[in-house]
Amino acid sequence: MNIDKKLYNLPLTKTNPTMLKSLFGYTNIEPFWIADMEFEIAKPIQNALIERIQSSSFGYEYRPESFYNAQKVWYLNEYGINLKKDEIIFSPSITTTLTILIEIFTNKGDGIIIQPPVFMGFKDVIRKTERSIIKNPLILIDSKYKIDFDDLEEKVKSTNNKALIICNPHNPVGRVWSKKELKRIVDLCKENNTILISDEIHKDIILYDNKFTSALHFIDTYDKIVVCTSEAKTFNLCGISDSMAIIPNENIRENVLKMLKKYNLGTTNALTRVALETAYKYGKSWLKEVIKIIETNVNSIINELESSQINLIKPEATYQVWLDFRNVFKDSEIMFKHITENSKVAMNAGHWFGREGALFMRMNIATSQKKVVNAIKKIKQSVKNI
């Protein structure tokens, strides 16, 4: 797998000097923070994009049947889901879809349940829509995060709380929720008529033979389920990819479509369409190679941290790792400043994902083993004498 040699000459967020200075205080710092890869995209995707550009015609496009068929085959082969074309809606981003769902199906002041530490975009959307953030914090037991179902049941039962957003696989802690766990979540939502929104953007980066189950598997049990996803993370297409909302419930779907049309969102982009269709058809071997590299990188981190005060929460999925510094620091701000300043490795502070992530840091390891090992050595060295 080749590292993209052009990476540091492109106007990417992860290497933007202004952004690095703003978040980390330095511009001369190695970026291991934002969730995209440093690998070249799959050759079939590169070639398909080049061919499309060389056609030199960029009139208005639609998504042909070949696009939907490629997506349906992928979902059937990878997740055992029989997708229906009419159930798929496209929007600019998952947070766009979340905003629309919350605006349509809840009122200002209503509670939206999330499970921190979790992707910070959830809190941002809830705040912007003037809803209430209701936390169902995950529990860390024996280096594995679990759902506090007693607390979740209490939160879902409240008539003020209208929706539950889950992240599966979970970002940042790397859990893949089991079929049993998901069934319990769905049952609670059904009992209380709560809309379940499942962010499944990391569904393809599944490590160590863990098994991913989509919330769509339970649609016959309860139909107020919306799955938000994208192949952006899977195939390193964050700067070119659409997001998809899969909505079997006709009433929910029609209302979301109406809002998308109101703001003229969800139209076809020629290069996005080509990239995604090609990825679905020819990207599997590239993805398998990526997963092997991520597993190798995780194993290398485990070896490097042996006998260290830093602990790794071993991920079941995603290409991020969740590093535990609770044995080293007592204050999250001091931790972030000290590690950043002394290692010059830019990672996400755990408290960015909620105060439940304090004294943890998220590290993106979708790069070469050499870079990952060197960064871990620098991090270890930075806390050696504390």
Does some domain include residue 22?
yes
> Is a pLDDT exceeding 80 seen at residue 256?
yes
Same domain, 127 and 28: no
Question: What is the structure's pLDDT at 28?
Answer: 95
> Is a pLDDT exceeding 90 seen at residue 299?
yes
Same domain, 170 and 63: yes
Question: What is the structure's pLDDT at 22?
Answer: 97
Question: What is the structure's pLDDT at 323?
Answer: 98
Domain that holds residue 376: 7-41+284-382
Does some domain include residue 303?
yes
- Count of CB atoms within 10 A of residue 46's CB? 13
CATH of residue 25's domain is 3.90.1150.10
Same domain, 82 and 181: yes
Q: Could you tell me where the DSSP H helices lie in 80-211?
A: 94-105, 120-128, 149-157, 179-191
Same domain, 67 and 209: yes
CATH of residue 87's domain is 3.40.640.10
Same domain, 210 and 299: no
Residue that is last in its domain, among 282, 308, 340: 282
The per-residue pLDDT for range 114-168, each reduced to its tens digit, is 999 999 999 999 999 999 999 999 999 999 999 999 999 999 999 999 999 999 9
* C-alpha angle 140-291-274 in degrees, rounded to nearest 5: 120
Does some domain include residue 2?
no
Question: What is the structure's pLDDT at 316?
Answer: 98
Distance CA 354, CA 173 (A): 12
> Is a pLDDT exceeding 90 seen at residue 52?
yes
Same domain, 110 and 69: yes
Tell the residue number behind the tokens 């705040």, with chain if given: 127
Same domain, 220 and 116: yes
pLDDT tier for residue 56 given thresholds of 50, 70 and 90: confident
> Is a pLDDT exceeding 90 seen at residue 44?
yes
Does some domain include residue 1?
no
The per-residue pLDDT for range 339-363, each reduced to its tens digit, is 999 999 999 999 999 999 999 999 9
Same domain, 153 and 200: yes
Q: How many CA atoms lie within 13 A of 140 on its CB side?
A: 17
Same domain, 35 and 111: no
Biggest CA pair distance of the chain: 62
Q: Could you tell me where the DSSP H helices lie in 204-354?
A: 250-262, 270-282, 284-304, 332-343
Same domain, 112 and 213: yes
Residue that is last in its domain, among 282, 315, 346: 282
Mean pLDDT of all residues in 312-321: 98
Does some domain include residue 258?
yes
Question: What is the structure's pLDDT at 268?
Answer: 85
The per-residue pLDDT for range 161-199, each reduced to its tens digit, is 999 999 999 999 999 999 999 999 999 999 999 999 999
> Is a pLDDT exceeding 80 seen at residue 367?
yes
Same domain, 291 and 217: no
Q: How many CA atoms lie within 13 A of 343 on its CB side?
A: 26
DSSP secondary-structure letter at 362? E
Residue that is last in its domain, among 282, 306, 337: 282
Domain count, the chain: 2
Same domain, 274 and 289: no
The per-residue pLDDT for range 212-237, each reduced to its tens digit, is 999 999 999 999 999 999 999 999 99
> Is a pLDDT exceeding 80 seen at residue 5?
no
